[in-house]
A and B are shown apart, each in its own frame.
Chain A
Amino acid sequence: MTTSQGIIMILAGLASGPLLGGLIAGLDRILTARFQSRIGPPLLQPFYDVIKLFGKEKMVVNVWQAFCANAYMTAASISVVLFFLRSDLLLILFIQAVGAVFLVVGAFSSTSPYSQAGAHRELLQILCYEPLLIFVVVGIYLLTGSFKIESVYAWNQPVLLKLPFMFVVLSFVLTIKLRKSPFDLSTSHHAHQELVKGLLTDYSGSFLALTEIAHWYETVLVLGLCSLFWTTNPVGAILLVGLTYFLEIWIDNVSARLNWRWMLGYGWAMGVSLSLVNLVWLYAR
């Protein structure tokens, strides 16, 4: 990759979160509304929300929280930029994880019990999905012989064909990461939750907007990871990602929220066993 290409990629990565992520969020809300026989908000609704949040009065609970929101945002954007630069998958994952932890630390720093309980659950979620993500990355490594995304693109056939179970594991992670039912434990898009907004209860105004944008970045990142499973042609990648996302919204709409015990038990049991099956299968061939 040349320098000019690199700069373009960095800019594309930076822009993708706020633009692509926001559009995806808007589409998500419209689709959800359709599933519920509603009309739903306009496509640009998430942008209105975020712009409005930037214009709200600043109410900072403590300095830590402001710092944490910024750190989360920075980490999320860096991980996406690194993804666009086709960098090391492990590095991307860890930067993303650092960001997620900052979000939790910010929530822990406030005194609200909802925020505390939400942060607690978010930690459990991170604990649940990070090992699974590592499994996915290890699967890719075993297949291509490198942690670099570059090497995935260099692979001559879709990774999905070799790692189908890994993809199931990744979509499991996707459900957690997108805060969709049945895993919208720590915070939820709609208000009717026992923890109110859980993790995000004490973030407000522009800091909430920052976490929202960071969430968009994360969405782009996880969907980007999904697209790695079909690198041979862009239409295939878009179809795969689109289908997966549609599936996520569908699952969101047909299931109730479960508790974290179930998530950890089921997630690890299913994730680990599916990953192992896939890895063994890779070896056997």
Chain B
Amino acid sequence: MFNKILTRARTMSPWVLHFDCGSCNGCDIEVLACLTPVYDVERFGMINVGNPMHADVFLVTGTVNHRNKKVLRNLYDQIPDPKVVVAIGACGLTGGIFREAYNVVGGVDKIIPVDVYVPGCPAKPEAIIDGVVLGLEKLKK
């Protein structure tokens, strides 16, 4: 019984932490656009907390490079369980158009385990909402 309530609460209240891991701002502002009136993800209880210790869903946009991979790892470790990682945009998935550049390590999944991949360049807000919803499936288990 309690578990059922807890699961429901978890899916109803995904607090997101957004980390721009070297994206071009495209996906970034689309993530922010999700919070604004036209998409308003607060309908689903999503709020941007900006503090890893409070977050449940980790939205990562952009390529990983040698400097920010440590930050990424660090942030990931600070998020308490249960957590969901959503990689956003072509850059977050594989490195996108930049994956052959010298300072690019590749997609987010090279550093931390990723649960949901949201393709697009930039990913549309609709796709980002879909992605978070898909990620919440993991919490139901």
Contact = CB atoms under 8 A, between A and B. Distances in A.
B10 A201 contact: no
Contacts of B48: 190-192
Interface stretch (A50-58, A247-255, A265-273): A50-58
A40 B42 CA distance: 6
Given A36-B37, A42-B45, A45-B12, A51 B5 contact: yes
A55 B10 CA distance: 8
Contact of B42 (A37, A38, A59, A204): A38
Contacts of B43: 38-42
> Which of B6, B13, B37 has its CB near the most chain A CB atoms (within 10 A)?
B13
B49 A205 contact: no
B81 A52 contact: no
Contact of A29 (B42, B49, B54): B42
Nearest to A36: B37
B49 to A, nearest CB: 5
Contacts of A48: 8-9, 12-13, 45
Interface residues of A, number: 34
A197 interface: yes
Interface in B18-59: 37, 40, 42-45, 47-51, 53-54, 56
Interface string B69-94: 00000000010111000000000000
A274 B104 CA distance: 62
Interface of B: 5-6, 8-10, 12-13, 15, 37, 40, 42-45, 47-51, 53-54, 56, 78, 80-82
Nearest to B53: A204
Instruction: Determine the main DSSP class of A at the interface with B.
Output: loop
Interface in A1-49: 29, 33, 36-42, 45, 47-49
B81 A56 contact: yes
A202 B53 contact: yes
Contact of A33 (B10, B42, B78, B80): B42
B51 A196 contact: yes
Given A38-B42, A191-B47, A191-B49, A56 B9 contact: no
26 contacts: A36-B37, A38-B37, A38-B43, A40-B40, A41-B43, A42-B12, A48-B45, A49-B45, A52-B6, A52-B10, A52-B56, A55-B6, A55-B10, A56-B81, A190-B47, A190-B48, A191-B47, A191-B48, A191-B49, A191-B51, A201-B51, A201-B53, A202-B53, A203-B53, A204-B54, A205-B80
A202 B80 CA distance: 12
